Structure 1
Amino acid sequence: MFGVTINSLTIALGCLIGLVIKGGIPEKLSTTIMNALALCVLYIGISGALEGTNTLITIISMAVGALIGELIDIDKWLNNLGIYIEKKFTKQDGKVSISQGFVSSSLLFCVGAMSVVGALDAGLLGNNETLLAKSILDGITSVIFTATFGIGVIFSSISVFLYQGSIALGASFLSGLLSTEVVNSMTSVGSLLIVALGLNMLKVTNIKVANLLPAMFLPILFGIANLL
C-alpha cells in the first residue's frame, strides 16, 4: 500500500498548493493550461488504448459495461456524493461546484492504464515504480485542477486511495486470473475512458464517463471463462 498512499498524499499536497495560488492564475491562462492538459490526457488515453491485443473483448466490454453503468447510473451516484460533500462545506466554490471538481478529478486520477496497472504491480509484485511515477503526474495535475475547479479536487485523494488500494489488495486473490491479455484489455478499455474524459475537458462531448467504469473490469470475466 506504500505506492497507493504516496499517490493519495501527492494529490492532496498538490491541491493545497493549488488553493494557495488559485487567485494568482488569470482565467485566460487557466483555460489555456486546462486545454493543454486535456490534450495530454487524450494522448495518454490513445497511447494506452493501442496496447490492447484483443479488439473484440474491448468492444464487448465497452458495450456491456455501458449498459451496466447506465442501469446503475454511477454518474448520478458520484454527483450526489459530490453534492453531499458540497453542502457540508460550501454551496459554490467560485464558478465551479465542488461536485464537478470531485467527480472530474476522481475520474482522471482513477481511470486509466497507470492507475490499474500500477495498483496491480503493487499488489502482485510489490513493485511501486508505476504508482510513484503516477504520483508525480497526479501531483502536478492536481495543482492545475484545484486552481480551476477548487477545493472539491482534494476529496479525489480519498477516491484514489480506496480505488487503487482495493485493486492492490484484491490482486493477490485474482493472480491466477489476471493474464497478460486480461491486463492489456483492462488497460485498453480504461484508456478509452481517459480519451472520453479528455474530450469532455475540451468541451467537445459530454460523455458520462462514470457510467462506463464497469467496462474496465469485464475483461476479468473473459479471463475466468478461458480458465473454465
Structure 2
Amino acid sequence: MSVFNGTDETSEHTMTGTLVNAAAIIAGGLIGLCLQKGIQERFKATIMQAISLTVILIGIRSALNASDLLEVIVCMALGSLIGEAMGIEDRIEAMGRLVEKRYSRSSNGGFARGLVTASLVFCVGSMAIVGSLESGLTGSHETLFAKSLLDGITSVVFASTFGSGVIFSAVPVMIYQGAITLGASMLKPFLTGDVIAQMSGVGGLLIAAIGINMLEVARIKIGNMLPAIFLPLVYFMVVQLF
C-alpha cells in the first residue's frame, strides 16, 4: 500500500478522502430513510444478519494482521481499562441522546442507537486507520474511496433500520479520520508497517465485536475498548525512547 512505499509527498487536499467518506454516509443514509417504509421487517432483519456476519468476517481478517499476539492481549486489556475509566461509551451514547433531543422528535432511543452503532462501524477498523494515514502521508485517497463505497451501502441498510441517527455518524467519522490524517505528519517517524499491523489487528477484534453486537448475541462495550487501537503506537514510542 502506498503509505509504506517511501513516498514523502503530501497533498494540500489531504481531507478529500474523509470528506468523500462522510458524503457517502449522508447520501446512503438519506436513501435508507426513503426506503424505511418500503422494506419489510423480515427483509431488514435478514439483511442486517447478513451484514453482521460480514462485519465479523472483516474483523477476523483484520485481526489476523497482528503478528504479536501477546501485545494485542495487553493492548486490549489495558485499553479497555482506560476506556472504562473514561466512560467513553457512556459519553458517546449521551452525545447521541443530546443530539436526538435537539434534532429528533422521536424519543424511542432509535436515533441514539443508530448514531452509536454506525459511528463505531464506520470509525473502528483497519480501513479507517490505514486510509486516513495514507491520505495524510501521501495525498492518496484510494483506500478511503473504497471505504466510502462500503460505508455508503451499509448506511442505506442502517438508516432504513435505525433511522436518521445514521446520517449524523458522518460527523464523528470526519472528526476521527480527519484527526488521524492531520496528525499523520507529526507521527510519521513512528508509523512503521509493524505498528500499523498491530493497530489493525486490535481494530479487527473490535470490528468482530461490533458484528456480535449487531447479531444481539451479547452486549460488548466496544466504545470503552477504543483506546486499545492506539496502544501499539504508544508501545512502539516507549520502546524507541528506552
Same fold (TM over 0.5): yes
Equivalent residues in 2 for 1:33-48, closer than 5 Å: 33-48=47-62
Matched, 1:7 2:24: no
Match of 1:24 among 35, 38, 48: 38
Equivalent residues in 2 for 1:13-92, closer than 5 Å: 13-92=27-106
| SS class of match (1:23) | coil
Shift of 1:55: 1.0
TM-score (norm 2): 0.92
| SS class of match (1:172) | helix
Contact 1:4 1:119 survives alignment (8 Å): yes
Contact 1:91 1:97 survives alignment (8 Å): no
- The runs of 4+ residues in structure 1 deviating greater than 4 Å are none
Contact 1:178 1:223 survives alignment (8 Å): no
Matched, 1:196 2:209: yes
Matched, 1:166 2:179: yes
Structure 2 CA distance, aligned partners of 1:169 and 1:89?
30
Tell me the equivalent position of 1:135.
148
Contact 1:17 1:143 survives alignment (8 Å): yes
Q: Which runs of 5+ in 1 are unaligned?
A: none
Q: RMSD of aligned C-alpha atoms?
A: 1.0
Equivalent residues in 2 for 1:88-167, closer than 5 Å: 88-92=102-106, 97-167=110-180
TM-score (norm 1): 0.97
Structure 2 CA distance, aligned partners of 1:133 and 1:97?
28
Q: Which runs of 5+ in 2 are unaligned?
A: 1-14
Tell me the equivalent position of 2:198.
185
Structure 2 CA distance, aligned partners of 1:215 and 1:50?
16
